[in-house]
């Protein structure tokens, strides 16, 4: 039996000094990359998660997703409405869902997320699952900080994380908690 290859379409979203690879399946956005990432890194990520996939550049297909990201960066939107297609372990998916509950402009600690899912001692595992989040910004892992409020690791880099936290805090009604 010949398995049909999955089509993954990608484009580059540019905002100020950053460029981010963005990719989608037929079901929704499956990847938002890190600033400075190369095409080879995108390709390696896709091959690791989708065993049989054709990666095709398609700016028009990603246009709505890039528009949502631009609206977020411009401060005209605080939410994302387009579909997301992410796959991980059941624990990772539980964490990624929990991240969506962190309000815009607020920060939670890894311990807060562990408590939110009813596993208060699992904060290290929570950190690992957060680090595996494939769609930066859209699933707001940047809102997670150390228990003492310290800006901690972020796949997109600490400069982008700080930028996103400042962006949200500076919007009307937003503030770090």
Q: What is the pLDDT of residue 176?
A: 43
Three-state DSSP class for residue 9? strand
Of the candidate ranges 3-7, 108-112, 159-163, the one whose mean pLDDT is the lowest: 3-7
Of 8, 98, 122, 141, the active-site residue reads 141
- Residues forming CATH 1.10.10.10 domain(s) in the chain: 90-170
Q: What is the pLDDT of residue 50?
A: 85
Whole-prediction pTM: 0.90
pLDDT band at residue 63 under the 50/70/90 scheme: very high
Q: What is the pLDDT of residue 174?
A: 44
How does DSSP classify residue 75? T
173's CB contacts (< 8 A; 6+ apart) are: 105
Architecture of the structural domain at 6-73: 2-Layer Sandwich (3.30)
- Residues forming CATH 3.30.160 domain(s) in the chain: 6-73
* 173 Rama sector, left if φ>0, alpha if ψ -120 to 50, beta otherwise: left
Q: Which CATH class is domain 90-170?
A: mainly alpha
- Over 60: is that where the pLDDT of 1 sits? no
Q: Which tens digits make up the pLDDT trace of 113-162? A: 999 999 999 999 999 999 999 999 999 999 999 989 899 889 999 999 99
List C-alpha distances in Å: 150 to 3, 42, 111, 147, 153: 47, 29, 13, 7, 10
- Report, as an integer, the average pLDDT of 42-71: 93
Q: Which tens digits make up the pLDDT trace of 69-92? A: 999 999 999 999 999 999 999 999
30 part of the active site: no
- Over 60: is that where the pLDDT of 175 sits? no
Mean pLDDT of the chain: 91
Three-state DSSP class for residue 28? coil
- Report, as an integer, the average pLDDT of 45-60: 91
């Amino acid at each position: 039996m010949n398995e049909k290859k999955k089509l993954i379409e990608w484009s580059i979203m540019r905002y100020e000094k950053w460029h981010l690879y963005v990719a989608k399946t037929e079901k929704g956005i499956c990847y938002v990359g890190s600033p400075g990432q190369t095409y080879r890194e995108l390709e390696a990520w896709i091959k690791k998660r989708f065993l049989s996939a054709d990666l095709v550049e398609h700016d028009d297909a990603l246009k709505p997703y890039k528009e949502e990201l631009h609206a977020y960066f411009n401060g005209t939107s605080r939410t994302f409405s387009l579909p997301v297609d992410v796959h991980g372990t059941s624990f990772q998916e539980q964490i990624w869902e929990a991240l969506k509950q962190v309000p815009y402009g607020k920060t939670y600690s890894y311990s807060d997320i562990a408590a939110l899912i009813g596993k208060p001692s699992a904060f290290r595992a929570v950190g690992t699952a957060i680090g595996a989040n494939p769609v930066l910004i859209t699933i707001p892992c940047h809102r997670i900080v150390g228990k003492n409020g310290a800006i901690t690791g972020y796949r997109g880099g600490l400069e982008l994380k700080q930028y996103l936290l400042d962006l949200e805090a500076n919007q009307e009604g937003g503030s770090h908690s």
